[in-house]
Every structure is written in C-alpha cells, then in structure tokens.
Amino acid sequence: MSEKNSVNKIDVKELPSKGTKANKKASVDRYDPGSTIYVRSVKGVFQRLRKVIGWFLLGLFIALPMLRWDGRQAVLFDIDQDRYHIFWLTIFPQDLTLLAGVFIIAAFALFFFTTYLGRVWCGYTCPQTVWTFIFIWFEELFEGKANKRKKLDQSPWSGNKIWRKTAKHTAWWAVSILTGLAFASYFVPVEQLYSRFFTFNASFAVTFWVLFFATCTYLNAGWMRSIVCTHMCPYARFQSSMFDKDTFIVGYDESRGETRGPRSRKADPKALGLGDCIDCDLCVQVCPTGIDIRDGLQYECINCGACIDACDNTMTRMGYDKGLIAYTTEHKLQGQKTDVVRPKIIGYGLVLLAMCGLFVWNLMSISSIGFDILRDRNALYRETIEGLVENTYTFKVINKTPQTQTYRLSVTGLTDPHWVGPTELTIASGEVFSQPISVSVDPYDLNKSVSKVQFTIEQVGADERVSKETSFFSGGR
C-alpha cells in the first residue's frame, strides 16, 4: 500500500502567491543599455511642479542671451575679446578667480541640498532630466501613450509608422538645434548667430559647436536618457555618501503596503490579509529609470516624484489615504523621529552662507581699473647727473570699462618727487597699457634706505581709483 502511494505521489512545487515581490518580474532590464523604457505619463502635484521648473529653466536658458543691457547683449562671454559681460558687470581674465568661488558654492550647495532633500537636483533641475521629459512629450504627441509607443516599435514598418517616427525625430532635432544655438549665443552675439546660421553664413567654428551640442542633446535626451543617469553620471555613484537616515528620499511604506495584491474598491483589505498596495505597477511604469521603488532606495532613483503622483492617484481612486509612496526619510519609515536640523546640515549651511557672502563681497569689490606696478629689474636705483636718486617702474593698466577712459597718475610718500613720464593716460576699452615712468628724489630728503611709496591711478570724471604700495630704494642714503 505504501509502495502504491509512493508511486502515485505527485510532486508539489510551492509557488509564491499573487501579489508578493517574488511574483513580480521587471518588464525591462534597466542594467542593459540597449533596453527601452517606455515611460507612462502621469499627472499630479510633483509633475506639475517639475514641468513648471523645467519650462522656466528652458525659457531662461534660451531668453537670457537675448536680453539687452546698456546697449549690448546682457550676457555674453566674448572669448575673442577676453571679456565676459553679465548685465552691469564686465569681467576680464584677471578676475576669473571668481570662477573658483562659483565652483565652491556649487559644491557646498550640492552637499547641503542633497543631504537635506536627496537627489532633487536630478529630478527637477538637471538639464538631462528637463530635456528628456521634453523629448518624451513630443514622443507622446506623435506616437501616443507608452503602450502605443511600444506596440508601434514592435510593429512592421508602414506608412503610419514612418510618418510618426519622422515627425518625432524632426521635432527632436528642432529642439536640439535650438538648444545648440541657445548655448552658442552665450559666446557669439545673438543678433549675428541666428541670422548667419540659418543663411549658412556662420563660421566653421560656430557651425561646428552648434551642431555638436545639438547632436549631444539629440542623443542624450532622445536615445540614451536613463543610460546617462545610471551609467554615465558620476553623481549617481557618490550621492549615497551624502545621504543619512534623515535625508528626504522617495520611499515606499512597506509596513502599510504589504502584503500587496489586487482587490475591488469595495473590498476590505484587512479582511483579505492585504496591505494598501494593490500591485498595479504604475509606480514602475511612470519611472524614467525603470526601477521599482518598492524594492527600497536605489541609486537610479532621481527623486522626480512621478511614482508618488501615480500612487497617490491610485490611492484616491481606491478611497485610501495618500502617502503610500512619499518624500520621507528612513527614520520615518522605521517609525522613528526625523531630525531635520542636524550638525551636518548646519555645517553645510554655514559654509554655504559664508562662501556666498565672500563671493558677493569679491564681486562688488571688482574695480573697473586693473593696475599693477613692476620695478626695474636691472637696477634697484640709480643716481642722476643732478645728484638725485631715481627709481624706475613700469605701470600695467587695464581699462575694464566698455568705453575709452582717461586716467591720472600720482605718487605719495616722498618729499618733493620729480616725475618723469606722462601723468595722464588715455586707454581704449579692454586695452592692456604699459607705461614706464621714473621718480627722482633729493637724497637729503630720504632718511631710510628703503621708503614705502604709494602710486594712485584715478579715472578722470569718475570716482574710481586704485592705489598700490611699492618700495623706493636709495642705497642707505
């Protein structure tokens, strides 16, 4: 009897029940650069915010070089003339140390906001994200929603497929070329750039860089998309070093959502032994990087909030409370208190404020006159035929204003100095002017071998002056 039962015994394989994590299989391999992620559109608070920010930044990027200021382009980085105009400010290469301040501020701003709000830069302001969502918008316009786009790609070539693909790529290239032109307009006067480019009269260098940035935009936002975020962007790799358990991230409340499973709206999930997650997978379908946020925090998450809006919409339809997926912290998910104000945040904030203050101070203290003094290296001093002690200097003067200016020179710190050379200089805008001069003094008026003297240059007709201190040698007389 036992042998018979043994022969007729059927092996039973235990299968996971519907709604568990093990039953879910990713629809696309996000680690494969060749995989296509068909992002589903979603509406919600965070997507409206993202669109407003994205369109604002795109409009600002395109329009900023078109603004006028004091008869010239408001923002123009004129590399040929070595001057960089930013509204009322004209910066010359001698002042480009300010660029180091910009980088330091950007670094500490990144540390501060990432520690506090996670990867919000990627989700809301990164050019890659902004342009990607714009390209997806055109994709939906010509090819339809995500399921239609997928079906279209899998279908054989036809007249319908050809015109839709052609229209989409034409729109992508139009946006890409506009992007390349907008970028080039920061370096080439905008009134020349657009007219010459579209009439094929632009120089080779201008045409090359416009097409180069257009091609980069077309490839990055149109074809690579999440590949840039997951495989190329270094920020995705080191962002976790700035996170802690009080950092606001996009998180799934597992204690509330599990066990997952479908059910009718009228069904009581507790009676069915289910959590609030109905396992609709919309959070995965709307994710631009194709991850499942229910699997926990992943470096591919760009904090765009698309999964939050999708889940909130589902919870509303089911009559459940929103917030199953939300901007939250690991401490909050574990039922602990979130410490928003903490030493790391305070430290980054204080350094950021200090660097911003120092940068503004340096910016406001930029003079419109560049003034340097070089001593004669051949001789510390010489004695003239009249018996005077003479020192020779070379003045380097830069006119940092947009107009030709006249400057007056003077010296203090010596008794009855004899000046040999012009006391007024007329210098064109942006010109670096060298002027040798000599100063002689009666040795009986010198009581030290080395005297401190101060040369001053002032702009005629304006309250702008710069003083430099140097030495006057007399050889112990």
Looking at the structure, do residues 272 and 390 belong to the same domain, yes or no? no
Written as six digits, the tokens of 380 are 């510390």
Looking at the structure, do residues 257 and 205 belong to the same domain, yes or no? yes
Closest CA to 257 of 17, 19, 15: 19
Number of domains in the chain: 2
Band of residue 448 on the pLDDT scale cut at 50, 70, 90: confident
Band of residue 409 on the pLDDT scale cut at 50, 70, 90: very high
Work out the average pLDDT over 384-391: 89
Work out the average pLDDT over 32-45: 81
Q: How many residues does the chain have?
A: 477
Which of 2-6, 397-401, 410-414, 466-470 is least confident?
Answer: 2-6
Q: What angle do CA 421, 424, 427 make, to 5 degrees?
A: 110
Work out the average pLDDT over 156-174: 94
Looking at the structure, do residues 404 and 334 belong to the same domain, yes or no? no
Written as six digits, the tokens of 23 are 């039953």
Tens-place pLDDT, residues 287-313? 998 899 999 888 888 899 999 999 999
Evaluate whether residue 4 is within a structural domain. no
Evaluate whether residue 14 is within a structural domain. no
Q: What is the pTM of this model?
A: 0.76
Q: Residue 163: exposed, middle, or buried by beta-carbon count in 10 A (0-12, 13-18, 19+)?
A: exposed
Looking at the structure, do residues 82 and 182 belong to the same domain, yes or no? yes
Written as six digits, the tokens of 14 are 């235990």
Helix (H, G, I), strand (E, B) or coil at 288: coil
Whether pLDDT at 447 is above 90: no
Closest CA to 242 of 93, 365, 344, 364: 344
Sign of the Cα pseudo-torsion (56, 58, 60, 66, in order): negative
Query: Which amino acid, one-letter code, is at 96?
Result: L
Evaluate whether residue 24 is within a structural domain. no
Neighbouring C-alpha atoms within 13 Å toward the C-beta of 238: 5
Whether pLDDT at 217 is above 80: yes
What is the C-alpha separation between 66 and 73, in angstroms, rounded? Answer: 7
Band of residue 143 on the pLDDT scale cut at 50, 70, 90: very high
Last residue of a domain, one of 321, 336, 366: 366
Looking at the structure, do residues 95 and 153 belong to the same domain, yes or no? yes
What percentage of the chain carries pLDDT values higher than 90? Answer: 47
424-427 sheet: strands from edge to edge: 424-427, 405-412, 450-459, 465-473
Neighbouring C-alpha atoms within 13 Å toward the C-beta of 291: 23
Do the strands 382-383 and 424-427 form a parallel or antiparallel pair, or are they unpaired? unpaired
* Average pLDDT for the chain: 86
Evaluate whether residue 18 is within a structural domain. no
Evaluate whether residue 62 is within a structural domain. yes
How many helices and strands, by DSSP H and E, does the chain display?
16, 16
Which of 92-101, 269-278, 447-456 is least confident?
Answer: 92-101
Looking at the structure, do residues 281 and 193 belong to the same domain, yes or no? yes
- Higher-pLDDT residue of 307 and 232 is 307
Neighbouring C-alpha atoms within 13 Å toward the C-beta of 364: 6
Looking at the structure, do residues 460 and 346 belong to the same domain, yes or no? no
Last residue of a domain, one of 337, 366, 395: 366
Closest CA to 298 of 26, 3, 13: 26
Band of residue 5 on the pLDDT scale cut at 50, 70, 90: very low
What is the C-alpha separation between 68 and 90, in angstroms, rounded? Answer: 14
Whether pLDDT at 450 is above 90: no
Evaluate whether residue 23 is within a structural domain. no
Residue 29 has what pLDDT? 57
Looking at the structure, do residues 291 and 379 belong to the same domain, yes or no? no
Evaluate whether residue 20 is within a structural domain. no
- Higher-pLDDT residue of 8 and 178 is 178
Looking at the structure, do residues 258 and 393 belong to the same domain, yes or no? no
Last residue of a domain, one of 312, 334, 366: 366
Domain extent for 458:
369-473
Looking at the structure, do residues 253 and 265 belong to the same domain, yes or no? yes
Looking at the structure, do residues 72 and 86 belong to the same domain, yes or no? yes
Looking at the structure, do residues 285 and 428 belong to the same domain, yes or no? no
What CATH number is associated with residue 418? 2.60.40.10
Evaluate whether residue 15 is within a structural domain. no
Q: Phi and psi at residue 313, in whole multiples of 5°?
A: -60, -40
Whether pLDDT at 197 is above 70: yes
Task: With beta carbons less than 8 A apart as the criterion, state whether 253 and 97 touch.
Answer: no
